[in-house]
Amino acid sequence: MGVDNIADGTDVFVDGAAGTIALDPGAEEEAAAEAYKAAAAALTVFDGTGVTADGHEVPLLANVGGAKDAVKAAEAKAQGVGLLRTEFCFLERDTEPTAEEQIEAYKGVFDAFPGKKVVVRTLDAGADKPLPFLTDASEPNPALGVRGYRTDLTSPGVLERQLQAVADAASQASADVWVMAPMISTAEEAADFAKLCSNAGLQTPGVMVEVPSAALMAEAILGEVAFASLGTNDLTQYTMAADRQLGSLAALNNSWQPAVLRMVQLTVQGSAAEGHAKPVGVCGEAAADPALAVVLVGLGVSTLSMTPRALAGVGAVLNSVTLAEAQRIAGIAVAAPTAAEARARARAELPVLESLGL
């Protein structure tokens, strides 16, 4: 049944953890909802430190889309920003924003996190975020077309100007500014982006790992830049060849897919190859799932970035396991044959989830 066919006034019970919806909930569902409310009340505050039970630090960062978001994230005690979506400066415009407009916007975010890491993602235009002055709306398959870093191929100059604006804003703030490019597919692209960053005076260039080639070639790509961040939403879409905007393919667009977990594993392994050891974070929705966060840490991910409201839950669950336990649970999930089995097996090893209502 589609939501359009649900009669007005119908009570609906949504279990976000299980991914189920029930109409006209009975006493059992109502009791579960009350238990969740009680548990959730205990998870309203994050103490500002992401750490496993044995002291392994995993900074918990926030995904933000502007200065207002950044202020709220700082109030929630996020340990920094793992993803600044710079599209907020560009969307709903017919022309490129000026350098002054960009500098002011970026500085507002940097000022919310003095002395802390802020990871800036350069403009991720294209696909579901078209821009009249930058992308071609007539592309037959925009998800595989000119988007993210690739816009520099067809509209050179926009990326360079954005990087200079980021550098200028960073020079006026004390935040530790890192910069990453979306839709990097090759080591050549990574090297080119690193050069553009260097030319702008930005010292910490990185890449988004969103396509399988980036995961498979992580060693070579990370040889060119300082860090990587896994965008699990797009990585899942491209690994599973399933448009993430299609509800009918939602089962495939699930970051618990063992194939996606193996892409994460390959990226981390590439980052630790001989000659360089580069940090790999996650800034996709997967980081906000407490059970999946444990698996990601077990696979070797160094930071997790999420919506601020997820910080407390992720922090509490991470604090309940040692790094060795997280690694064991990660192995169980990666070895599962299906996404459902990976999720169920991992959650079975984390009884704290039920007690926290997660």
- The answer to whether residue 35 scores a pLDDT higher than 60 is no
Specify the pLDDT at position 237.
95
Which residues, in sequence order, are bridge partners of residue 64? 84
Please write the tens of the pLDDT for every residue from 114-172: 999 999 999 987 556 666 656 666 777 778 888 889 988 888 999 999 999 999 999 99
- Confidence grade of residue 90 (pLDDT, cut at 50, 70, 90): confident
Q: Are 178 and 227 in contact (CB under 8 A)?
A: yes
For residues 35 and 322, which has the higher predicted lDDT (pLDDT)?
322
State which H helix or E strand residue 264 sits in: helix 258-271
DSSP state of 146: S
Specify the pLDDT at position 147.
85
- The span from the CA of 114 to the CA of 297, in Å, is 26
For residues 272-296, average pLDDT: 91
- The span from the CA of 306 to the CA of 75, in Å, is 14
Please write the tens of the pLDDT for every residue from 171-223: 999 999 999 999 999 999 999 999 999 999 999 999 999 999 999 999 999 99
CATH topology of domain 47-355: TIM Barrel (3.20.20)
Residue reference for tokens 């399933």: 242
Q: Are 68 and 47 in contact (CB under 8 A)?
A: no
- The span from the CA of 289 to the CA of 287, in Å, is 6
Structure tokens of 113? 């996190």
- The span from the CA of 222 to the CA of 279, in Å, is 9
Specify the pLDDT at position 3.
67
Q: Are 334 and 258 in contact (CB under 8 A)?
A: yes
Q: Which of 288, 280, 346 is nearest to 312 (CA)?
A: 288
- The span from the CA of 134 to the CA of 129, in Å, is 11
Every domain of the chain and the residues it spans: 1-41, 47-355
Residues in the chain: 358
Specify the pLDDT at position 139.
72
Q: What are the E-state strand segments in 210-297?
A: 227-230, 280-282
DSSP state of 211: S
Please write the tens of the pLDDT for every residue from 304-353: 999 999 999 999 999 999 999 999 999 999 999 999 999 999 999 999 99
- Confidence grade of residue 240 (pLDDT, cut at 50, 70, 90): very high
Q: What is the pTM of this model?
A: 0.88
- The span from the CA of 84 to the CA of 62, in Å, is 9
Structure tokens of 195? 């050069």
Which residues, in sequence order, are bridge partners of residue 306? 62
Specify the pLDDT at position 57.
98
